[in-house]
Amino acid sequence: MRRTWPAATALVAVTALLAGCGGGGPGSGGGRISGGKISLGVLTDLSGVYADLAGPHAVAAVQMAVDDFQQKYGDKAVAKNIDVVSADHQNKPEIANTQAREMYDRKGVDAIFDVPTSSAALAVATVAKQSKRLYFNVGAATTELSGKSCNPYTYEWAYDSYMLANGTGTEVTRQGGKGWYLLYPDYAFGQDMQAKFTAAIAGAGGKVVGKDPTPFPSDNFSTFLLKAASANPKPQVLGALQAGGDLVNLVKQYQQFKLQDKGIKLAVGLMFDSDITSIGQRNLAGTMYTSAWFWGLDAQSQSWAQRFKAKTGVYPTFDQAANYSAATHYLEAVQKAGSDKPDAVSKVLDGMKFSDFFARNAQIRAADHRVVHDAYLVSVKDPSASKENGDYDQLVKTIPAAQAFEQPSSDCRMS
């Protein structure tokens, strides 16, 4: 799961010149595009536990959005050129803060994308507000970004902990998993997941009989698993609320300790296809979880995923698909506004309704900048049911956009 990439703080710049730099575009000659170009920053985990679910392939997804935008508009595009820069935040909020300031202040980045790790995302949202530059959160699940930490410059694009708990926590409890033991990473993401799952389980008639915060990151969960196995009352469900490499390690150790044979079923809070690859599809067959998107959803999703695979060699996770979606709609908003000024772009985005291959029946809520869209309760296929390697997910049910996400929080103040 762990990968080694170039130096963590190195910026990777990819410059793409728009076809036909003549005077036909909204930004040509009019000076409405600052510096004569648009710059997109991807701040992500290039080297740690979230590198496979986001990482270099999230950068590739944003570059793919730029390429498609260029091809669509040609010499009518809003700017002469667009570049994509990336940096590794190492899952540390202090580094995310520094890298975000570097991107906005020195690299001239107009909008930052991705930022897995909730503590890092909250740091970037603060910098975005102070710098008055746009930030599209894709990789972090904390609901605080659309709650007390909301601001006019931050958008939440893909998912959050409420969506995950509302799907998996509710459904598994309704199917008979009344007693839960929760293991969650001890930082903003895990704390938010624990709170949201506890509420969803109780709302469905269940109870959390035990819970433990675990170090982040970690490769040893044995103490916590043994504690859950010996808990009194005995849990029926182990709620694994980790993500990425930590989830992979926890699930493998859950299987090594044979907790399923002891009557403790596994429920996963957040899972990506990259996790299934690492854990093994056969080991997860039948496991249910909630997803913002999966590439086998329908012909539209499959078509985009095949294009992505042709460029990267792998099928996309929903984080990577959502980065493409967010970058595309940002560029389209700049095109419509004829300007990359954040307030002008936000006027186009706020309240916008759309459907694309990633987000169906979507709307960008002006009240809190939460993008609401359909979500999906899925189960991992038995390998015998898969049509090819990477065909992991079977749709259980669609959760409509109006039900998938929490209503706007009274804690959100767009000021």
Summarised one tens digit per residue, pLDDT across range 264-298 is: 999 999 999 999 999 999 999 999 999 999 999 99
Asked whether residue 16 is assigned to any structural domain, the reply reads yes
Asked whether residue 196 is assigned to any structural domain, the reply reads yes
| Residue 25 reports pLDDT greater than 90 | no
Same domain, 394 and 277: yes
Distance CA 353, CA 366 (A): 11
Tell me if 224 sits within 8 A of 214, measured CB to CB: yes
Same domain, 45 and 190: no
Please give the pLDDT value at position 79: 87
The two three-digit tokens of residue 10, written as one number: 């190195």
| pLDDT, tens digit (0-9, with 9 covering 90-100), for 320-379 | 999 999 999 999 999 999 999 999 999 999 999 999 999 999 999 999 999 999 999 999
> DSSP assignment, residue 370?
B
CATH number at residue 168: 3.40.50.2300
Same domain, 220 and 76: no
Asked whether residue 6 is assigned to any structural domain, the reply reads no
Same domain, 105 and 177: no
| pLDDT, tens digit (0-9, with 9 covering 90-100), for 45-91 | 999 999 999 999 999 999 999 999 999 999 999 987 999 999 999 99
Specify the amino acid at residue 73.
Answer: Y
Asked whether residue 327 is assigned to any structural domain, the reply reads yes
CB-side neighbour CA atoms (13 Å) of 151:
21
Q: Which residues pair with 238 in a beta bridge?
A: 181, 266
Within its chain, how far is the Cα of 118 from the centroid? Answer: 10
Same domain, 57 and 167: no
Please give the pLDDT value at position 89: 98
Tokens 């392939």 -> residue: 57
Number of alpha helices (DSSP H) and beta strands (DSSP E) in the chain: 14, 16
Task: Please count the structural domains in the chain.
Answer: 2
Radius of gyration for the chain, computed over Cα atoms and rounded to the nearest angstrom:
21
Q: SS3 of 231, please? A: coil
Same domain, 131 and 276: no
Question: What range does the domain containing 393 cover?
Answer: 162-291+375-404
Percent of the chain with pLDDT over 70: 93
Asked whether residue 103 is assigned to any structural domain, the reply reads yes
Q: What does each C-alpha distance from 268 to 183, 243, 287, 405 come to in angstroms? A: 10, 9, 8, 19
| Residue 141 reports pLDDT greater than 90 | yes
Same domain, 228 and 128: no
Asked whether residue 71 is assigned to any structural domain, the reply reads yes
Same domain, 207 and 114: no
Same domain, 178 and 233: yes
| Residue 3 reports pLDDT greater than 70 | no
Helix (H) or strand (E) holding 284, with range, is helix 281-284
Lowest average pLDDT, out of 1-5, 193-197, 223-227, 240-244, goes to: 1-5
User: At 23, is the pLDDT very low, low, confident or very high (cuts 50, 70, 90)?
Assistant: very low
Helix (H) or strand (E) holding 310, with range, is helix 299-312
Please give the pLDDT value at position 80: 79
> DSSP assignment, residue 359?
-
Same domain, 146 and 208: no
Same domain, 252 and 323: no
Same domain, 278 and 318: no
Distance CA 289, CA 73 (A): 39
Asked whether residue 5 is assigned to any structural domain, the reply reads no
What is the value of pTM for the model shown? 0.92
Asked whether residue 108 is assigned to any structural domain, the reply reads yes
